[in-house]
Amino acid sequence: MGNVKSTDKVKLVISVFSRDIEIIKKVKTALAKKFGPLDYESYDLKLVTDYYTLEMGANLIRQFYAFKKLLNRDTIAGIKLYSNKLENRFRINNKRKINIDPGYLSLGKFILATTKNQQQRIYLKKGIFAECALRYKDGGFTTWDWTYPDYATKEYCKVLNEIREVYFRQIK
């Protein structure tokens, strides 16, 4: 029998995307108010999928935010529930104007929280699942068969590797 040990704190990473930069700014402010100061903010990234075009329109811009305060892994379900409420504040005619995807990063993996169940996802609580979206291997993040197309790009992995470096310096 193994002994239960406390786990290392992890880095909160939240991805947002919208075609409305003003909504992105408002959401960034709300996230910083809720989770504390950012220590990483990405440049604007394009989405490589058109999955959200019907609901949210074309030319969506994604940004990643990482937060200075580290968190316990088991808080991610509550963070996803909060992000869903925040998304709903900006709905117009029952369509989202922003998508907010929280996750966390450790040295070995990047986890996303989601409301959608799939074979590779693990139920957490209150309708929230977790997915290991990327793993760290041979000096960088790499994909799984189920990794979302955007997260599989070199550009997105570059951003997450940069956040991992911030986290690495933070825990050392």
Give the tens place of pLDDT for each residue, 51-98: 999 999 999 999 999 999 999 999 999 999 999 999 999 999 999 999
CB within 8 A of 52, min separation 6: which ones?
17, 60, 99
Predicted TM-score (pTM) of this structure: 0.94
Flag whether pLDDT at 11 surpasses 80: yes
DSSP structure class, residue 105: E
Flag whether pLDDT at 9 surpasses 80: yes
- Alpha carbon distance 51, 54 (integer Å): 7
Inside any domain, residue 126 = yes
CA 94 → CA 56, 87, 97, 127, distances in Å? 11, 11, 9, 21
Inside any domain, residue 155 = yes
Domain containing 103: what range?
11-171
Give the rounded percent of residues in the chain with a pLDDT score beyond 70: 100
Inside any domain, residue 128 = yes
Inside any domain, residue 2 = no
Element (H, E) at 34: helix 21-35
Give 34's pLDDT tier (boundaries 50, 70, 90). very high
Q: Please give the sequence-ordered ranges of beta strands (E in DSSP) within 24-166, or none if there are none.
A: 38-41, 45-46, 61-67, 99-105, 109-114, 122-125, 128-137, 140-143
Inside any domain, residue 4 = no
Residue 4 confidence (pLDDT) = 79
Inside any domain, residue 1 = no
Q: Please give the sequence-ordered ranges of beta strands (E in DSSP) within 99-161, or none if there are none.
A: 99-105, 109-114, 122-125, 128-137, 140-143
Instruction: Provide the domain count of the chain.
Output: 1
DSSP structure class, residue 165: H
Inside any domain, residue 6 = no
Inside any domain, residue 134 = yes
Contact present, 11 and 66 (Cβ < 8 Å): yes
Average pLDDT, the chain: 95
DSSP structure class, residue 50: -
